[in-house]
Structure 1
């Protein structure tokens, strides 16, 4: 039997061995860079001696700086949510942001960042450690969603924005937006969280685990130290294929592909044969060298550990404060901070502190912990869920709305969309998702 798909992978391998490494900064261009020379202590005790946050903006900040909206991205998202003069390529939310659109840049000043841990300008595993002159790779500290949000608020401080008109995000961005509203309630005027959760559930954790295992099984992964060699493109391709299955829905694929084959007049093949297989192969191939493998590991793990419960938030804050106290004035010196093995730890050596709940806890105790975690989030809130979403099922968005209401937020609006696009509905359904967002942001009551 012929295996043309394996032949293509082997050819790609030979090309990579002869060619240069991917340069992720060229995938997204035209962003601004906020450089923070103040050491950044992460929730799990690691320290970044300095930090860059890539961001892009649209619209104008008004005189009292009260019209800013912060857009939070999903796992592999960049700051390029909308085209502009420095980068005319369509952004990932191009049809949602702009004059007169759902997020109206005639009214609002819109900011979007690449999260720390990413590879599109913000400090991540691909960045150079200033203490060693080498890329961090898997010496990069483990991150949390809370860390990402704290880095974003440092950017807001730099921009002179004390209070946001709104915090808006979908998927992992919805986790960030909820986190921002709960941890910085005095700085967030409105909350929009779409296709997200208050805590990651076992099903989504399992799916992301499978992706990471596929990636790390690639012989070119080399425990994350692959930057001077061949990229783990096969593992990344497999990981992306698994992810793509979770982003869309069966009803959509039934309509788009059905059981049609690429070449129905040919014998069946073990390589991509059905149209759905060719779609997955194309999507994963296109992605496998456009995003850093280590970033996928770190950012997806941060998603797994997300839990807005009060006990988890307090425990993370205590760990961070303890690490900062231990380091003391040494944090002011980059070399001293990163010479300490407790600062720049390998991902395999970092403490596996509990960020979930004990099995001994009852469901009511878990719910009360979640309610306590959002007790300060009283701002007008829009929660959107999608019935066909298998990655973040609607029960998780219902849980967000419920805990906010039980915590005393009387201004929670919950919509459940009957769309067939699955998790990616927030990228596709401009009419329904866009209208809901626009109405919430512009409501004056």
Structure 2
């Protein structure tokens, strides 16, 4: 149906160069005074964090005393804690990066064959950290590839060498949904991650230094191609199943599209076939608060204080999207942590203290640059045919670049392209009225002819056509706000429109789960039960 006129953003692009190019080509100024003022401002900006840290090391922060003030100044223990941690990490920074980002013993696959990435980057070699459970049968036909969420390691279940419980501990094992009496389960840490697989914190073999933000942009498909290099090394020609939840659900679909002849069936839980504005916006916000932390240092923080403050805030934002409103109403309500004390601007309500604890606990457990790269790969995810055609064209254009790398031939780089690879508008975004004939399809605007609200986009149908003969389980949760249930309905209806007659779609209502997006980690009965039944 048609909708009233709406406002959309349009931009006039210009080129924004990197910091290196700005230093090489200083911008002209109108007056020397303005130059001096700008330089002084920049100098002051860069000095403030260092002075704050030095002061925190030297002595505790004291509240300003104002003579004659009507009210005393508030205390900010939450900020004191951040400054104290920065001071502590500063004293330890000479011993190397903090922390080590490890989950214990795991297996390692090393590929010396270069990997061409979708957007033109090249990994000359790479590692894949992985763990396995169960036994591979003689024909190597019982393997299940388990894909992880954004920040998960390969440690989905405990092993003899690492007895710590894994992130899907209750779902893997004898008689469990991923039954190790039947299946050989493989779980990897994705490339771009920080738990043993090659990522921004890894060493670039070209110069012996950490990649940091010299690491190339990734896609879900890049991660899947690296995983299938591992399968090749294990001699596994065809998977019994590809299984994943959240980002793993996206990877599972991508694996099916890229390697449809090598997957017997697939499971996608709380995932999507293309990222949508809300989830992109939330991940963008997380990246922004992280990158605004002065300690991030444009990604080159490995020999200093990590951006733990930005990571803490990013995790708090993420946690808001992982759980649901109904659960929090029951769990926290409007209760305050200590009703006997007056309100404070620091965490005060129970929900605030919960988020504060979640952020504090996680801020040193995951590499900040990995968060940036892996979350951006989620944003770029789109299995629609138009996007696939564009990426295939980019890959084709870069095939010569990969061959030259293999031959050891230096490829002349486009200096302008290397230094100025981001476009931003000259002026703030302007609002423009959107034509009235726009219609809404499953929450996505489509111009042109009116579409049935239950009809999946033809572009997506064409993109998922390789899955027309692959049995699929698609599961969603009504209380999920990060990957809403309509996105799983879109996957299921699109698969059916490809001609796939073996699609199982399950949606858990709020009467079955109030845990939102995190349901896939918690619900052994409904999520685990559905997976076990589907796998057979």
Q: Which TM-score band applies after superposition, normalised by the shorter structure? A: over 0.9
Whole-angstrom distance in 2 between the partners of 1:285 and 1:70: 32
Q: Compute the TM-score of the two structures, normalised by the length of structure 2.
A: 0.78
The alpha-carbon distance between structure 1 residues 200 and 22, as it changes in their structure 2 partners (threshold 3 A), is same
Structure 2: how far apart are the matches of 1:373 and 1:224?
Answer: 35
Tell whether 2:120 aligns with 1:45.
yes
Task: Map 1:202-241 onto structure 2 (within 5 A).
Answer: 202-241=277-316
Q: Does 1:285 align with 2:363?
A: no
Q: Which entry has the higher C-alpha Rg, 1 or 2?
A: 2
1:399 aligns with 2:490: yes
Q: Deviations over 1:192-223 (max 9, x none)?
A: 00001111000110000100000000011111
2:345 corresponding residue in structure 1: 270
CA contact (8 A) 1:200 1:303 kept: yes
SS of alignment partner, residue 167 of structure 1: strand
Greater displacement, 374-383 / 314-323: 314-323
Could you tell me how far apart the structure 1 residues matched to 2:311 and 2:129 are?
24
Alignment correspondent of 2:395: 320
Comparing 364-373 and 4-13, the one that deviates more: 364-373
Aligned pair 1:18/2:85, yes or no? no
SS at match of 2:294: coil
Distance 2:448 2:333 in 1: 45
C-alpha distance in structure 1 between counterparts of 2:528 and 2:393, whole Å:
39
Q: Distance in 2 between matches of 1:289 and 1:347?
A: 31
Runs of 4+ in 1 over 3 A off after TM superposition: 20-26, 339-343, 345-348, 357-366
Moved more, 90-99 or 321-330: 321-330
> 3-state DSSP class of the match of 1:95?
helix
User: Given that residues 310 and 372 in structure 1 are in contact (C-alpha distance below 8 angstroms), is that contact kept between their aligned partners in structure 2?
Assistant: yes
Paired positions, count: 434
Q: Work out whether 1:409 is the aligned partner of 2:497.
A: no
**5+ long unaligned stretches in structure 2:** 1-73, 425-443
Q: Is the 8 A contact 2:101 2:194 kept in 1?
A: no
The 1:77–1:204 alpha-carbon spacing in structure 2 relative to 1, beyond 3 Å, is: same
1:372 to 458, 462, 467: 462
The secondary structure found in structure 2 opposite 1:153 is helix
- Aligned match of 1:349: 421
| Residue 340 of structure 1: how far off its partner (Å) | 6.2
Distance across 1 between alignment mates of 2:275 and 2:136: 35
Gaps of 5+ in 1: none
Q: Distance in 1 between matches of 2:379 and 2:391?
A: 15
User: Counterpart in 1 of 2:10?
Assistant: none
Q: Secondary structure at the match of 1:433?
A: helix
| 1:250 matched to 2:311 | no
Distance 1:193 1:19 in 2: 43
The Cα of 1:349 is off from its aligned counterpart by 2.8
**In the TM superposition, what whole-angstrom CA distance separates every residue of 1:312-347 from its partner, at most 9, and x where no partner exists?**
1222122123212134232354xx67x86569x979
Counterparts of 2:406 and 2:154, CA distance in 1: 29
- Distance of aligned partners of 1:84 and 1:406 in 2 relative to their CA distance in 1, 3 Å threshold: same
Q: Closer, same or farther in 2 for the Cα pair 1:408/1:430, shift >3 Å?
A: same
Q: 2:516 aligns with which of 410, 422, 428?
A: 422
TM-score by length of 1: 0.93
- State the alpha-carbon separation in 2 of the partners of residues 423 and 260 from structure 1: 24
Calculate the aligned-residue CA RMSD, in Å: 2.1
Q: What pairs with 1:95-244 in structure 2 (closer than 5 Å)?
A: 95-244=170-319
> Residue 304 of structure 1: CA displacement?
0.5
Residues 107 and 439 of structure 1: CA distance in aligned 2, closer, same or farther (over 3 Å): same
Q: Deviations over 1:102-133 (max 9, x none)?
A: 10011100000001000101110000001111
Mapped partners of 1:37, 1:252: distance in 2: 48
